[in-house]
């Protein structure tokens, strides 16, 4: 899925655009970087493969219980709604505690939920409210897991290896979550929901054990200049950190639209596949796998694409790819046309993800990384439930094709402001030398506590 764009607080303003400067960070010794990269890729692959299976299982279980577009879209809504509800608070948590421990807790919650659904499925007692409840818990666990994992690469991988690490981690996310996961999920659901849920729980368990192989520092760097204050104060620091620069603020807002499109596509595609395209379970898994296939191609070619086109046009490709993804169901019900749009969306998404992660890890101090990542993801992942909810309402009132057309037009509308703001000069200046100042803290009341 899309990554988040980084922004560094700075007083410098060039040509009306506040330009971030490079932040210092603590990295693992170079001899541990390859090992940590391999562990993070393995963990990401296993847990996202399990996520990909779940992505197929829960919506398809919902379609067997109801034919309402709004109720089916509601399952995807519950999976992403926690990004709006708890992301900022999780960011504070990640900047305070052992980040590997948080990953273990998140995966433990996932295993409990999958086990509960498995028991209900075996008893033929699954209901739509039960799917909503499971989706909410899985969504909260995802917020904790993704925010924690995003902070580990800068502290466990040397700077020279981060672009490669980001490419492989992002590639594993997309290939397993969007390609292998849905394809395997389609096969497993055909064998039974209980089989799919059982495999998902095993995937989370193995991924959790792999984290034992990491070497390095898992707690955030000490921030002696900024004593712990109340939660709201710490949240405000992260939000200000993101919002004060025009360049990366624009990129975050653009990503809000893009992520809303992804949320809409993923929420309504189960119904499109079954009611308009008349796909069976395996064909639906193949359709979702086109997203991952595009992402895998993007991960393998991102370095070459950046070298050939530059970061600006590499990220611009995501605007075109996402527009193609949501526009394809408007014009055709052909599996290959819709899958082709999904392929372009997946490839564009991975190009954006790798570039934005590399930029953020270069610019954001470790002590701010959790809050910053949470604030930035609020704009992207937080938009997914909004997109899922809006597409359900539009489809109920105006039809599925009209709903997707609205999102395609919204994506095209951000092309001009993107090109005007995200210029080669501002990107080059953002990657220039310098040391980022730490955000100025607000004084906390003596009685404040977290």
C-alpha span between 320 and 308 (Å, rounded): 18
DSSP class of 26: -
Greatest mean pLDDT among 25-34, 196-205, 247-256 lies in 196-205
- Terminal Cα distance for the chain, rounded: 32
Question: Cα-atom radius of gyration of the chain, to the nearest Å?
Answer: 21
- Please check the confidence at residue 229 and state whether its pLDDT lies above 50: yes
Which residues contact residue 191 at a Cβ distance below 8 angstroms, ignoring those fewer than 6 apart?
A: none
Residue 249: CB atoms within 10 A of its CB come to: 18
- Please check the confidence at residue 176 and state whether its pLDDT lies above 80: no
Alpha helix positions (H), 64-151: 69-80, 82-85, 87-94, 99-122, 128-150
3-class DSSP state of 6: coil
Q: What is the dihedral of CA 388, 277, 293, 359, to 10 degrees?
A: -20
Instruction: Identify the pLDDT of residue 85.
Output: 83
Residue 415: CB atoms within 10 A of its CB come to: 14
Kindly report, residue by residue over 195-226, the tens digit of the pLDDT: 888 888 888 899 889 889 888 778 776 554 44
Per-residue pLDDT, averaged over 44-55, amounts to: 82
Greater confidence, 227 or 196?
196
3-class DSSP state of 150: helix
Report whether 72 contacts 271 (CB < 8 A): yes
Per-residue pLDDT, averaged over 309-333, amounts to: 90
- Please check the confidence at residue 444 and state whether its pLDDT lies above 50: no
Alpha helix positions (H), 211-334: 231-243, 246-271, 281-309, 311-331
C-alpha span between 38 and 35 (Å, rounded): 5
Kindly report, residue by residue over 354-373, the tens digit of the pLDDT: 787 777 777 677 677 777 77
Per-residue pLDDT, averaged over 128-148, amounts to: 87
- The overall average pLDDT reported for the chain is 77
Report whether 414 contacts 255 (CB < 8 A): no
Kindly report, residue by residue over 383-402, the tens digit of the pLDDT: 877 888 888 889 888 888 99
C-alpha span between 202 and 46 (Å, rounded): 9
Greater confidence, 91 or 109?
109
C-alpha span between 104 and 218 (Å, rounded): 12
- Please check the confidence at residue 31 and state whether its pLDDT lies above 60: no
3-class DSSP state of 102: helix
Instruction: Identify the pLDDT of residue 11.
Output: 28
DSSP class of 439: P
What global pTM score does this model have? Answer: 0.66
- Of 57, 150, 105, 167, the closest CA to residue 366 belongs to 150
Quote the longest CA-to-CA distance of the chain. 64
C-alpha span between 341 and 233 (Å, rounded): 43
- Please check the confidence at residue 34 and state whether its pLDDT lies above 50: yes
- Of 323, 321, 252, 331, the closest CA to residue 293 belongs to 321
How far is CA 404 from each of CA 74, 181, 329, 387, 399, rounded to the nearest angstrom? 17, 24, 7, 10, 9
Per-residue pLDDT, averaged over 401-430, amounts to: 87
What percentage of residues in the chain have a pLDDT greater than 90? Answer: 14
Q: What is the residue-wise DSSP string for 380-427?
A: HTTHHHHHHHHHHHHHHHH-HHHHHHHHHHHHHHTHHHHHHHS-HHHH
Q: How confident is the model at residue 105 (pLDDT cuts 50, 70, 90)?
A: very high
- Please check the confidence at residue 445 and state whether its pLDDT lies above 50: no
What percentage of residues in the chain have a pLDDT greater than 70? Answer: 81
- Please check the confidence at residue 95 and state whether its pLDDT lies above 90: no
Q: How confident is the model at residue 430 (pLDDT cuts 50, 70, 90)?
A: low
Instruction: Identify the pLDDT of residue 194.
Output: 78
Instruction: Identify the pLDDT of residue 446.
Output: 31
Q: What is the dihedral of CA 170, 384, 242, 291, to 10 degrees?
A: 20
Instruction: Identify the pLDDT of residue 55.
Output: 74
- Of 414, 380, 264, 285, the closest CA to residue 329 belongs to 264
Q: What is the residue-wise DSSP string for 338-368?
A: HHHHHHHHHHHHHHHHHHHHHHHHHHS-HHH
- Please check the confidence at residue 428 and state whether its pLDDT lies above 50: yes
Instruction: Identify the pLDDT of residue 325.
Output: 94
Report whether 48 contacts 177 (CB < 8 A): yes
Instruction: Identify the pLDDT of residue 447.
Output: 34
- Please check the confidence at residue 411 and state whether its pLDDT lies above 90: yes
Per-residue pLDDT, averaged over 325-349, amounts to: 90
Instruction: Identify the pLDDT of residue 327.
Output: 93
- Please check the confidence at residue 302 and state whether its pLDDT lies above 90: no
Q: Cα–Cα–Cα angle for 429, 433, 435, nearest 5°?
A: 110
Helices (H) and strands (E) in the chain, counts: 20, 2
Per-residue pLDDT, averaged over 268-288, amounts to: 82
Report whether 347 contacts 298 (CB < 8 A): yes
Per-residue pLDDT, averaged over 285-297, amounts to: 79
Domains and CATH numbers, the chain: 27-220+229-430 (1.20.1250.20)
3-class DSSP state of 14: strand
Residue 72: CB atoms within 10 A of its CB come to: 28
- Of 380, 254, 245, the closest CA to residue 317 belongs to 254
- Please check the confidence at residue 24 and state whether its pLDDT lies above 60: no
Greater confidence, 244 or 25?
244
Q: With the C-alpha atoms ordered 120, 121, 124, 125, is the resulting torsion angle positive or negative?
A: positive
């Amino acid at each position: 899925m899309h990554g988040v764009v980084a922004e560094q607080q700075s007083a410098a303003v060039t040509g009306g655009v506040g330009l971030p400067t490079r932040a210092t960070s603590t990295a693992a010794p170079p001899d541990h970087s390859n090992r940590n990269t391999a562990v993070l890729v393995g963990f990401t692959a296993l847990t996202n493969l399990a996520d990909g299976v779940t992505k197929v299982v829960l919506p398809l279980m919902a379609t067997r219980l109801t034919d309402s577009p709004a109720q089916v879209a509601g399952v995807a809504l519950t999976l992403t709604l926690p990004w709006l509800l708890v992301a900022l608070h999780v960011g504070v948590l990640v900047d305070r505690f052992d980040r590997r421990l948080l990953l273990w807790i998140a995966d433990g919650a996932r295993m409990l939920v999958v086990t509960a659904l498995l028991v209900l499925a075996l008893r033929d007692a699954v209901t739509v409210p039960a799917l909503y409840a499971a989706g909410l818990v899985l969504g909260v666990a995802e917020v904790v897991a993704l925010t924690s994992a995003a902070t580990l690469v800068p502290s466990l991988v040397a700077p020279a290896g981060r672009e490669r690490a980001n490419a492989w981690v992002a590639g594993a996310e997309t290939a397993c979550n969007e390609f292998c996961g849905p394809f395997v999920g389609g096969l497993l659901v055909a064998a039974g929901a209980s089989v799919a849920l059982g495999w998902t729980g095993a995937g989370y368990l193995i991924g959790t054990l792999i984290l034992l192989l990491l070497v390095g520092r898992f707690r955030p760097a000490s921030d002696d200049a900024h004593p712990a204050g109340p939660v709201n104060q710490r949240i405000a620091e992260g939000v200000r950190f993101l919002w004060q620069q025009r360049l990366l603020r624009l990129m975050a807002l653009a990503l809000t639209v893009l992520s809303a499109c992804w949320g809409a596509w993923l929420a309504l595609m189960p119904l499109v596949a079954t009611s308009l395209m008349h796909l069976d379970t395996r064909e639906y898994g193949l359709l979702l796998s086109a997203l991952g296939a595009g992402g895998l191609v993007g991960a393998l070619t991102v370095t070459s694409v950046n070298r050939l086109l530059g970061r600006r046009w590499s990220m611009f490709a995501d605007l075109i790819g996402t527009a193609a993804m949501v526009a394809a169901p408007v014009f055709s019900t052909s599996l290959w046309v819709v899958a082709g749009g999904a392929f372009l969306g997946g490839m564009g998404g991975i190009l954006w993800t790798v570039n934005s992660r590399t930029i953020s890890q270069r610019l954001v101090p470790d002590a701010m990384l959790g809050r910053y990542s949470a604030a930035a993801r609020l704009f992207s992942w937080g938009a997914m439930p909004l997109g899922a909810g809006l597409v359900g309402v539009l489809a109920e009132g105006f039809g599925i094709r009209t709903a997707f057309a609205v999102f395609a037009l919204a994506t095209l509308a951000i092309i001009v402001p993107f090109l005007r703001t995200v210029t080669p000069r501002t990107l080059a200046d953002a990657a220039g030398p310098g040391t980022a100042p730490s955000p100025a803290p607000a004084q906390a009341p003596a009685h404040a506590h977290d």
